[in-house]
Structure 1
Amino acid sequence: MAERVVIVGGAIMGSSLAWWLTELGHPAGAITVVERDPTYAACGTAFTNSCIRQQFGNPLNVRISQFGISFLKDFRRHMGDERVPEVHLHPFGYLYLADNEAMADRLRRAHAVQVAEGAGTRLMTPEEIAAEWPFFDTDGIVLGSHGTRDEGYFDGTTMFDWWRRIAAERGVTYLHDEVTGINTAGGRVRGVRLASGTRLEADIVVNAAGTRGAQIARMAGLDLPVEPRKRYTWVFSAKTPLPRDLPLTIDPNGFHVRTDGALYMAGATPAEDPAVDPDDFAGRWEIWEEVVWPAMATRIPAFEELRVEQSWVGHYDLNVFDANAIVGEHPDLPGFMILNGLSGHGLQQSPALGRGLAERIVHGRYESLDLTPFGPERLLTGVPFPELAVI
């Protein structure tokens, strides 16, 4: 008899896992996805900036992104359905800027990791940056790191929609309800209780609840170092558009900005960055005029005259232990699996992590990429598996 799988959370990670489980042969009728908001209006997936990069400092994250790129570049074939549209990558690349030697050394170390994994990253002097993108003011910059290929924007919403749609068509149950408790009788997962009063029996419960991941873990008597953190986004038009695409530029002054079609998109982390309620999307919008815009106009003088067209606050499910994904079965509770703590990398990592956990469930082991270092065991031993390149 196939193991009964309940996935808590139906957004990008939960739907990736559901689709991959069916793709690897797990009976769809034994899979239930419980989603508290089937509109997905306030989930992390809804507010994503939908970009992918290979400029990580952790080699496993580089390999995960490389699979993500190959998957989305050949999305229709992977999905095996002619109705599915292609997902196009807009490859403007990422450009990390360093304004001191310590930061430059971090870029050099990360560059060595990336090149060893086959990424197309190049280090650039301030003079080289100014020659290629003359609109930058490189005053104070000592080094840059630019991804020359397979980095940029893609339509992650399409990927999510088709994972969810095809999983449901194959027979996966998507249930509009909310998990309120987890049955751990006998020291292992037995099922979940729902707000509707329903009880679902399960052999495996997967915590893919994003910013609510710590809440779900507490229902099982476990601690998960995942906190919702606010991240700000602005979409704006410039009076004087730039003469070419703007790479996704990560500035040492605390903002990032990129081309967004005919517009531009900027983002920032607030200086005060406490954990917040998963339903708290209120913004302190004064940081735009007081902090972000002045710094951005200093780096790119053409942005001194612009108009904000749209803005929003989204959330990271931030792993405050080491800013890296937590994936796998919790050693203290058999049957309780975690797909959480993506720390802003969820959309780009969803193809590989959904596949990996599906392999673990179906085959009992990772077969494509060894995701063992992401396991929750490190939370108990206190030995981090860090990712420092978090935007």
Structure 2
Amino acid sequence: MKSDVVVIGGGAMGSSVAYHLKSDPAFTGTVAVVERDPAYTRASSALSASSIRQQFSTPLNIHLSRFGISFLRRAHELLGADLGLKEPGYLFLASLAGEAVLRANHVVQRGEGCSVELLDPVGLKDRFPWISADGLALASHGTANEGWFDGPSLMQGFRRKARDLGATYIADEVVSFDASGVDLKQGGRLEAHTVVLAAGPWSGEVAGRSGIALPVEPRRRSVFVFDVREAPGLTPLTIDPSGTWFRPEGRFYIAGTTPAEGNDPAGAPLEVQHQEWDEMVWPTLAARVPAFEAAKVVNSWAGYYEYNTFDQNGIVGRHPLIENLIFATGFSGHGIQQSPAVGRAVAELIVHGDYRTLDLNTFGYDRIESGRPIRELNVV
């Protein structure tokens, strides 16, 4: 079998690459997407909290998500998908220890034209009366272009449209690859002019099978769905200084947190860590939002982050030695919101030989080999 482009991974990122390739009038080749889990039972795209923000510390992340929100607003037109986009914003809370970082991030964000405001504890209480400002020194509120959406619908929209445009999806697993194609678990070889590695949390494992060091691994995150007796009022996606976050989800709310130090192993089973609710999430919610004191968990799930252990930023672009190998992975929790922009960029790289609309060279693989991390300080 042969294909001009083989994409390893058919989640939101890989399917976005396939969609943008087949949407480019200058591309006349074939695209094959290899996905080992066609039901997407373990896919990060299907298990994500599916939120989008502009409040990053890295300008390129801001640019990626800015295109993302514009794409999501046009998803019905472009993909025929209703994503249920909501835009109440993000609210980052900081203690005295985190105030300087929040202020530094604010300078970057305002410099990039983000709609964001800083609130002192009095201003915070005035804007959101339901919140407790105890222990807080500052808050950063995104007033536009931030919110959440139906992530699985975005993934399926990309996949469906890519197939409609002629991309082929193969239910199989890549066991190895090289400069001329990929070897499949069910047997056989798929030859290719270009290979795109977009295998999400398993990208590091897939790369390692072919002797390529890639610092991307699956990190488990638990999400809890809870109900309350009385809704507190308009609620952005709120991130407490502890790392616990929460937001509305229909008539309920969802919440999660960063696992405790020493309890975040790579590739842990996809089992909900209920002790995180009891010991970390609920105590924080109850202290920060009095209306959440009587919160009751009604559902929960676990999903994987494609965690870049090097610097928690995406790895995008060509391998320095294998010219026809392109990475699109390692986004550390913000991949689905950036999948529209990254898919477009990778398609441009393949079709035109360079980036045309947004230069992603900053996130190239070479920074890993040369030990030049680009730290993203706003990791949720």
Query: TM tier, shorter chain?
Result: over 0.9
> Could you tell me how far apart the structure 2 residues matched to 1:135 and 1:170 are?
48
Could you say which residue in structure 1 is the equivalent of 2:149? 154
1:70 counterpart = 2:70: yes
Compared CA separation, residues 342 and 332, structure 1 to 2 (3 A): same
Could you say which residue in structure 2 is the equivalent of 1:5? 5
Q: Which of 228, 253, 263 pairs up with 1:238?
A: 228
Could you say which residue in structure 2 is the equivalent of 1:220? 210
Could you say which residue in structure 1 is the equivalent of 2:42? 42
Q: Which of 161, 166, 172 pairs up with 2:167?
A: 172
The two structures have a TM-score, normalised by structure 2, of: 0.96
Compared CA separation, residues 250 and 336, structure 1 to 2 (3 A): same
1:364 counterpart = 2:353: yes
Deviations 1:85-119 (A, max 9, x none): 4444211111111111x411111111111111111
Q: Secondary structure at the match of 1:19?
A: helix
Could you say which residue in structure 2 is the equivalent of 1:306? 295
The two structures have a TM-score, normalised by structure 1, of: 0.93
Deviates more, 1:162-171 or 1:12-21: 162-171
Deviations 1:255-278 (A, max 9, x none): 001111211111112103433327
Deviations 1:1-26 (A, max 9, x none): x9711100001000000000011136
Could you say which residue in structure 1 is the equivalent of 2:126? 131
Could you say which residue in structure 1 is the equivalent of 2:85? 89
> Could you tell me how far apart the structure 1 residues matched to 2:3 and 2:351 are?
9
Q: Secondary structure at the match of 1:89?
A: coil
> Could you tell me how far apart the structure 2 residues matched to 1:94 and 1:324 are?
20
1:211 counterpart = 2:201: yes
Q: Secondary structure at the match of 1:352?
A: helix
Compared CA separation, residues 104 and 260, structure 1 to 2 (3 A): same
Q: Secondary structure at the match of 2:339?
A: helix
| Residues 272 and 300, structure 2, Cα contact 8 Å, conserved in 1 | no
* Shift in Å, 1:301: 1.3
1:283 counterpart = 2:283: no
Letter in 1 for 2:106: H
Could you say which residue in structure 2 is the equivalent of 1:386? 375
Matches within 5 A, 1:240-389: 240-242=230-232, 244-271=233-260, 272-277=262-267, 280-389=269-378
> Could you tell me how far apart the structure 2 residues matched to 1:44 and 1:382 are?
28
* Shift in Å, 1:132: 1.5
Aligned residue pairs, count = 378
* Shift in Å, 1:35: 0.4
Deviates more, 1:316-325 or 1:214-223: 214-223
> Could you tell me how far apart the structure 1 residues matched to 2:274 and 2:37 are?
27
| Residues 227 and 275, structure 1, Cα contact 8 Å, conserved in 2 | no
> Could you tell me how far apart the structure 2 residues matched to 1:26 and 1:308 are?
51
> Could you tell me how far apart the structure 2 residues matched to 1:210 and 1:285 are?
25
| Residues 20 and 344, structure 2, Cα contact 8 Å, conserved in 1 | yes
Q: Secondary structure at the match of 1:322?
A: coil
| Residues 29 and 172, structure 1, Cα contact 8 Å, conserved in 2 | no
Matches within 5 A, 1:22-41: 22-25=22-25, 30-41=30-41
> Could you tell me how far apart the structure 1 residues matched to 2:263 and 2:275 are?
15
> Could you tell me how far apart the structure 2 residues matched to 1:78 and 1:169 are?
12
> Could you tell me how far apart the structure 1 residues matched to 2:111 and 2:3 are?
39
> Could you tell me how far apart the structure 2 residues matched to 1:48 and 1:284 are?
16
Letter in 1 for 2:288: R
| Residues 18 and 162, structure 2, Cα contact 8 Å, conserved in 1 | yes
Letter in 1 for 2:44: G
| Residues 330 and 376, structure 1, Cα contact 8 Å, conserved in 2 | yes
Q: Which of 105, 109, 129 pairs up with 2:104?
A: 109
* Shift in Å, 1:383: 0.6
Letter in 2 for 1:324: N
* Shift in Å, 1:158: 2.1
* Shift in Å, 1:225: 0.6
> Could you tell me how far apart the structure 2 residues matched to 1:378 and 1:301 are?
45
| Residues 50 and 148, structure 2, Cα contact 8 Å, conserved in 1 | yes
What percent of counterpart residues are identical? 44
> Could you tell me how far apart the structure 2 residues matched to 1:273 and 1:117 are?
36
Deviations 1:132-166 (A, max 9, x none): 21111111100000000111111222222121111
Q: Which of 163, 187, 192 pairs up with 1:197?
A: 187
Q: Secondary structure at the match of 1:321?
A: coil
Q: Secondary structure at the match of 1:296?
A: helix
| Residues 81 and 154, structure 2, Cα contact 8 Å, conserved in 1 | no
Moved over 6 A (4+): none
* Shift in Å, 1:203: 1.4
Compared CA separation, residues 18 and 172, structure 1 to 2 (3 A): same
RMSD of equivalent CA atoms: 1.6
* Shift in Å, 1:61: 0.8
Could you say which residue in structure 1 is the equivalent of 2:140? 145
